[in-house]
Chain A
Amino acid sequence: MRLLFDQSFPAHIEQYSEHDFSFVRWSADQVSDVELLESAAAEGMRGVVFLGLQALADGTLVRDAKRLGLFVAATHDTEPMQAARAISTHLPALRRAVRPGVACHVFAAELRILKS
């Protein structure tokens, strides 16, 4: 399965890919947050990961992700290297969390599933 990482993640985020669990970083033109989800769904990706909690703040994207059958996550850290490290630390938990309609926050110490 593949996850789409937003462009604010550093380019090397793709190197954290594992067998059967690969990461793709957005590198195309600017699109809106909703369009990023739609692009991920159209490309057959399982979910989208945002840098920082801002994109998921008002709940709209979480609803859109549910509508599209996508997993969606956001890192608590907005410093790109620390956010990438949090992802790499929680790879097993992240893999387990990836399910359609599930949303989670990725903290340095834990991965927290949001209540629906």
Chain B
Amino acid sequence: MLGTELALAKAFVDAFALTDVYDEADAFARVAQILGTLETPEQAQLVGPAYSRAVRLLDADLPRCRAAADVAVRLDIVEALEGLLETLRSHADVHQLSNAASLASSAAAPAGAAQDVWRIAEGANLADAFMRQLTLRLSATSEPDSDLEVVVAAQAWPGRANREALRRIGPSVYVDGDADRALDVWKTVAILASSGARVRRLPPVGVPVDPAWFQPLFPLVTWSGLGVTRIKRALPLINPRVITPPEDLSSVISVTRFLNRLRRELPAWSQLRMPPEVSPAELPAFSPESLSLGGFDAAEMSYLGAASLSVVRRLAQESLRPYDSDVQRWQFSKLVTLRIVQAFKGRGLVLKTDPAGIHSQLEELAAASETSRVGVDAKGVIFVEEGGIFTALHSGQQAIPEAVLIDQAFQGFRLGGGAVPNLLQPGRYTTVHPAVLGGAPVVQNRRLSARALAQLMNTRGEAVLRSAYPELSMPEIGDAVRVGRGILSART
């Protein structure tokens, strides 16, 4: 349990004590893991003081104490400065003085911290080269005059807003968050730092943002509009690139999606590493990533989209164009759009907007559906459920108009006297996922095309089919053949 400052400090100490002295990456991963597993806001508020305490506890083991300070700089744990200065007062170590200088130059560092570092350095009778390095880190006006000095200067806060310097040290991400958000902030910091980002936390509320500190090339992660307001107060002409993290920071898919959004906001020359890849088959079928997958042909569009072939072909000329007119194949997003259009018909409603309009908003719909139910009305307006009330995504208008929920378009429904199959599970043992076999219906948990089984059944009969696929049970064969025949007999 990490419920007390001492317990959390010991966990941080263990992160360094239990790893190879020279394996800072391993220690860093352990610290990030601790931050990622914090459970309560109270625990999260103890991170700064506990880390400072851990630095003091590690003082007797200089290599590990150095590693702890390095990690503090990387994660922007400015609070560690207090413990670090305490260790420096007993013995001045140049490596630790550099780390202290980096932390002291943070906008969030306590007043007078930079002077404290200077006093210790001057009293230690250090070489001129090292004093120059400290100057670069602590003085906002000193100009670097070599490649190495450019990098050293970039390690200071403010970051000089020097594009060339920032280019040398990898992507930076600003993180906003007041004390109430401590849990989210530290979890986000751990995710960002694990992806290779240099984290810069906004100074606490009440401490103005230094205009030289903010580099508009890099995005701001924020949970409210306050961070943007504070930056605009310092830099009125700048519109920061803003990203709101997902509510669920424990889901690999949410985190991957969050990092993907960040990647789009970062300059091409400064990119994040992605976490271990999420299996495409594990992605929710209705997600921005899955929507771009698939290669459904006209017969599959007709069967799964609950439309006749002639309707599919007409829409292909108008609003739901195939991604390649030669091969006539559609991505999953087009199939979902067709389902939404047909679900309106199934409910006796008329869609008064071009399906292309819905299609263009599908990614937004998919992202919104993470936490709530989403619907589309006949005019193509998107509604998101909040507290049982449907609110228009863009206008904020509260209404519960004649709408089709996306869930309803995925479920089976009735249309024209016939039953439309569930989109993702058209049969009891048959499933659809756009990342598997280009989205073709398959026997569940296998890569066996239902259409191929139906073709074989039609041409060779059951005995040949069973001998060709000995791993299948009869119910699986029967179900897949039924679905496959549905595709083969797509109506004109």
Asked, given contacts A27-B471, A54-B297, whether A33 binds B436 with beta carbons under 8 Å apart, the answer is: yes
**Could you pull out 26 A-B pairs where Cβ atoms are within 8 angstroms?**
A8-B448, A11-B467, A11-B471, A27-B471, A29-B445, A29-B446, A30-B281, A30-B436, A30-B445, A32-B436, A33-B436, A34-B280, A34-B435, A35-B280, A36-B447, A50-B437, A52-B440, A54-B295, A54-B297, A54-B439, A58-B438, A78-B449, A79-B459, A80-B455, A80-B468, A81-B460
Interface residues of A in 1-53 (CB under 8 A from B): 6-8, 10-12, 26-27, 29-36, 50-53
Chain A stretch 78-101: residues in CB contact (< 8 A) with chain B: 78-81
Q: How many residues of A contact B (CB 8 A)?
A: 29
Q: What is the chain A residue whose CB lies nearest that of B283?
A: A32
A52 near B452 with CB under 8 A, answer yes
- Complex Cα spacing A53 to B300, Å: 14
Q: Which of B440, B447, B468 contacts A11 (CB 8 A)?
A: B468
Of A11, A27, A36, A58, the residue contacting B331 (CB under 8 A) is A58
Contacts of A60 in B (CB 8 A): 293
Stretch touching chain A among B216-224, B251-259, B322-330: B322-330
B295 touches A58 (CB 8 A): yes
Residue-wise interface mask of B (449-466) relative to A, using a CB-CB cutoff of 8 A (1 in contact, 0 not): 101100110011000100
Question: Which residues of B sit under 8 angstroms from A52, Cβ to Cβ?
Answer: 440, 449, 452
Interface residues of A (CB under 8 A from B): 6-8, 10-12, 26-27, 29-36, 50-55, 57-58, 60, 78-81
Q: Which residues of B contact A (CB under 8 A)?
A: 279-281, 293-295, 297, 323-324, 327, 329, 331, 433, 435-440, 442, 444-449, 451-452, 455-456, 459-460, 464, 467-471
User: Known: A30-B442, A36-B447, A57-B295. Is A11-B469 also a contact (CB below 8 A)?
Assistant: yes
- B452–A55 touching, CB < 8 Å: no
Known: A30-B281, A54-B297, A54-B437. A78 touches B455 (CB 8 A): yes
Whether A51 and B280, one on each chain, are in contact in the complex, defined by CB atoms closer than 8 angstroms, is no
> Known: A11-B468, A57-B324, A81-B468. Is A33-B448 also a contact (CB below 8 A)?
no
Docked Cα-Cα span, A36 to B452, in Å, equals 19
> A55 is contacted by which of B295, B448, B451 (Cβ under 8 Å)?
B295
A34 to B281, CA, bound (A): 9
B323, chain A: closest CB distance, angstroms: 6
Contact A8 B323 (CB under 8 A): no
Q: Which one of A8, A12, A52, A53 has the highest number of Cβ atoms from chain B below 10 Å of its Cβ?
A: A8
CB atoms of B446 and A35 under 8 A apart: no
CA distance A12 to B464 in the complex (A): 11
Indicate whether A33 sits within 8 Å of B455 (C-beta atoms), given known contacts A6-B447, A7-B447, A11-B470.
Answer: no
B452: which of A32, A35, A57, A80 is its contact (CB, 8 Å)? A80
Which residues on the B side are within 8 Å of A12 (C-beta)?
A: 468
Cβ of A80: which chain B residues have Cβ within 8 Å of it?
Answer: 452, 455-456, 468
CB neighbours of A36 from chain B (8 A): 447
Closest to B455 in A: A79
Which among B445, B449, B459, B471 has the greatest number of chain A C-beta atoms within 10 A?
B449
Which B residue's beta carbon lies closest to that of A55? B438
- What's the Cα separation between A30 and B389 when bound, in Å? 39
Q: 18 other contacts beyond A30-B447, A33-B280, A80-B456, with CB at 8 A cut-off? A: A8-B448, A8-B449, A8-B452, A10-B468, A29-B446, A30-B442, A31-B279, A32-B281, A32-B433, A33-B435, A33-B437, A52-B449, A54-B297, A57-B295, A58-B293, A58-B324, A80-B455, A81-B460
